[in-house]
Amino acid sequence: MPTYVRCVTSAPAFGQQIPESASQEVEFISLSHLNPSTELNPIPTRGIDLEYFRTYVRSLEEGGYDYTLLPYGSGTADSFVLASAVGQLTERIKPIVALRPNTTFPLVGAQKLATLDQLTEGRAVVHLISGGSVAEQARQGDYLPKDRRYSRTSEYIDLLRRAWTEPAPFSHDGEFYRFDEFGPGFAPYDSPIPISIGGQSDEAFQVGGEKADIFSFWGEPLDDLRGEIERVRAIARASGRTTLPRIWVTFRPIVAKTDELAWQKAHEYVAKIADTYSRLAYGKQALQQKGVPQNVGSQRALSFAEKADLYDRALWTRTAAVTNAGGASTALVGSAETVAAAILDYVDAGADLVSIRGYDTLADAVDYGKHVLPLVRQEIAHRKATGRRGTLQAEHLGNYAEDYRRYATAGRA
Ligand SMILES: Cc1cc2nc3c(=O)[nH]c(=O)nc-3n(C[C@H](O)[C@H](O)[C@H](O)COP(=O)(O)O)c2cc1C
């Protein structure tokens, strides 16, 4: 267990000048949970608790989130069916369907997505998963090695877009897919359905940089993430694209009224999360591979956790360390102001979409909607109106200030 280590440069100046790399807009994503079981308090469930799911999805919409992610695994509920339910339970929030190409023929995937898009009057988004675990892929009969999985995803993207746009029947004889005289396919509501890619292997960057509308990351230290963002953009430019992929970053915030209270909560939470993970008691943890994760995103999260607990203003890696970095696992710890300021640091680095979900799932989703999203949006509106940065980032320094470090240390097991 590394001793408490923080990795922080001296406090950057948060003056009025808005960094050139800053995104001008920010949208929020949160994952939809299906039942009250959590990593803090894992309880046996059937899977879908309908009343809870309805409340969850509606709370995200009322909370001002722009998107909700329906994740996918061989042992989870089906993301398409869930997305269709989200579409009928809400008016505005956009369902993001996590889709693994090995599970659905591309023309059928295009048909399902276009159907969802028409049923929601243009709210469908797809997040293509090439698969980070050989064992998990094999559970559904997929035995392609990773680099081939990404090549398949690349062909898949082309076929999704052709199925949605080709006015006349067309045939295809590709490396992974073949068909004759398909089309015209069922069309999206009125515009192309955004395609997102997740993953940080070389193959992920190549396919995502060349073809994705959105490229997604799990939360990393700012300097490291800036490098990753520049990497995917360079590939996009080199491929001749004029529009660069939008950048999605994911965090697990731990928020309370003050930084001090947030740290007390964080230390309590990480002990519970570690216990749950040690018993593989939550969700599909039992399906996760043991030992070093195969997907690059998790490997990176563990290497950051190895090196330090705390980065930049509020990024905490202990939650990744105690869960073998399975999925989104790095936290932002602090008051709503400190966490909002930390999110703005990532917006300044180029993040367009910020995904946040807490460990106390529904309560946190509602809390962030009341206290965190408005602060970030206020600052974005201020910047638009004045051309200058507001004072939130300068006033709530988090780990750039001595007090915060003391709270981060106190109560650490
Ligand atoms: C924001 C985000 C959401 C993801 N959601 C899922 C998911 O629902 N199901 C899944 O199997 N993988 C999911 N992944 C994993 C990746 O999509 C990817 O397939 C895997 O991590 C392999 O990545 P690698 O290329 O970095 O090794 C997600 C990744 C990110 C960044």
**CA–CA distances in Å: residue 402 to residues 7, 9, 221, 260, 406:** 14, 13, 19, 12, 6
Query: Ligand 1, atom 6: nearest CA belongs to which residue?
Result: 71
Ligand 1 centroid, distance to 328 Cα (angstroms): 9
DSSP states along 246-309: EEEEEE--EEESSHHHHHHHHHHHHHHHHHHHHTT-STTGGGSPPSS-SSHHHHHHHHHHHH-S
Distance 107 CA to ligand 1 centre (A): 22
- CA-nearest residue for atom 22, ligand 1, is 132
Report the DSSP pairing between strands 94-99 and 67-70.
parallel
Backbone angles phi, psi at 85, to 5 degrees: -65, -45
**pLDDT value at residue 412:** 59
Give the pLDDT confidence score for residue 1 in this predicted structure.
Answer: 42
Q: Integer distance in angstroms from the first to the last C-alpha of the chain? A: 11
Distance of CA 124 to the CA centre of its chain: 16
Atom of ligand 1 nearest to the CA of 130: 19
HSE of 215, CA atoms in CB hemisphere, 13 A: 30
For residue 10, what pLDDT is reported?
Answer: 63
Alpha-carbon separation of residue 371 from 148, 260, 358, 362, 381 (angstroms): 44, 17, 13, 14, 16
The β-bridge relationship of strands 353-356 and 331-335 is: unpaired
Looking at residue 285, its pLDDT comes to: 75
**Tally of CA atoms within 13 A in the half-sphere of 365 that contains its CB:** 27
Centre a 10 Å sphere on the Cβ of residue 104 and count the other Cβ atoms it contains.
16
Quote the pLDDT of residue 411.
60
What's the CA angle centered on 116, arms 115 and 121, to 5 degrees? 100
Closest C-alpha among 95, 127, 121 to residue 109:
127
Ligand 1 center from residue 362 Cα (angstroms): 23
What is the reported pLDDT for 7?
Answer: 55
Q: Which stretches of the chain drop beneath a pLDDT of 50?
A: 1-4
- Give the residue, out of 127, 200, 355, with the most ligand 1 atoms within 8 A of its beta carbon, to mutate for a pocket test: 127
So what's the pLDDT on residue 404? 81
Those residues whose C-beta lies under 8 Å from the C-beta of residue 239, and which sit 6 or more positions away, are 209, 210
Picking from 328, 248, 340, 250, the residue whose alpha carbon sits closest to that of residue 23 is 248
Question: E-assigned strands of 129-241?
Answer: 170-173, 178-182, 195-198, 214-218
Give CA torsion, residues 132, 133, 138, 142, to 10 deg.
Answer: 20
Q: Point out the ligand 1 atom lying closest to the alpha carbon of residue 250.
A: 1
Q: Ligand 1 site: residues with CB under 6 angstroms? A: 71-73, 98, 129-132, 198-201, 204, 216-218, 250, 295-297
CATH architecture observed for domain 3-410 = Alpha-Beta Barrel (3.20)
Distance CA 32, CA 96 (A): 10
Query: Under a CB-based contact definition with an 8 Å cutoff, are residues 37 and 62 in contact?
Result: no
* Ligand 1 atom 9: residue of nearest CA: 72
The ranges assigned to domains in the chain are 3-410
Taking the CA of residue 294 as reference, the ligand 1 atom at the shortest distance is 27
Element at 407 (helix H, strand E):
helix 402-409
- Let me know: does 192 contact 164? Beta carbons within 8 Å: yes
